[in-house]
Chains A and B, each alone.
Chain A
């Protein structure tokens, strides 16, 4: 019984899902870090290094 299509689809969903989630996490973290630095600069505090 060859069902490689189903095996491929399941792997594509899992890997696609994980990669997309990691990507959104990284993107959101970068945005937050930028916001924090900007806020610190605006408030006259030392920016994060």
Chain B
């Protein structure tokens, strides 16, 4: 394939990905509007906690999104160590950043929900502390990437940290079952069965919100990955210019 053909096919694939992201933007927007309508208009107010319980519909999806993002970091890090392809490092980095953002939102919305219900912003129980540790691990991951020079060593160290960090997630999930904690027991995936601990309207609202946040993840990933590829293209051009001159 010559250079001209490569550029034409590159532009075509860019156009296709532009159309895909346009559809994704609209879909995400519509599902988010549906989620907000369900949260504030459809779902009944919980009797004991009152309106503040509606925080659950943004707190749990934020947690889901961050865990999912860290799962992608875990998978991409393994694939990077196995195949040594830059592509996997890009995906892992992009996903880690999104994961940290949403894990931060979990750590902010959790205490806001806790204050009126538990009477305190924070308790050092197993669920809260292990979530904070998870956040710190992936903040360290991003700091490692920011402070070391680009190259295979940075990608390798990051991949190891990305894998080790994910091992904390099953611990976070089971922490409320293994220890006595302030944090409530799982309601969606519980020992009684999927969604048995929750009313149908609440489960449906949570489901819509989870869909909206999942779509948002793919939208943000698309943008973030594109950004990393642009950076690579710039570096490549600079290197080519440096060697040719």
Contacts and interface: CB of A to CB of B under 8 A. Distances in A.
B104 to A, nearest CB: 7
Contact of B52 (A7, A18, A35, A36): A7
A3 B52 contact: yes
Interface residues of A, number: 29
A9 B105 CA distance: 12
B238 A3 contact: no
A11 B58 contact: yes
Contacts of B112: 6, 9-10, 13
Contacts of A13: 105, 108-109, 112
Interface in B189-220: 216, 220
Contact of A14 (B51, B58, B238, B241): B58
Contacts of A26: 223
Contacts of B108: 10, 13, 17
A39 B113 CA distance: 49
A13 B113 CA distance: 12
Interface string A22-49: 1001101100110110011001011001
Contact of B216 (A18, A32, A36, A46): A18
Contacts of A9: 112
Contacts, number: 79
B104 A36 contact: no
B223 A29 contact: yes
A23 to B, nearest CB: 11
B113 to A, nearest CB: 7
Nearest to A46: B7
B58 A2 contact: no
Given A6-B52, A10-B113, A13-B112, A29 B241 contact: no
A27 to B, nearest CB: 11
Interface of B: 7, 11, 48-52, 54-55, 58-59, 62, 101, 104-105, 108-109, 112-113, 115-116, 216, 220, 223-224, 226-227, 230-231, 233-234, 237-238, 241
Q: 4 nearest interchain CB pairs?
A: A1-B50, A3-B52, A32-B230, A3-B116
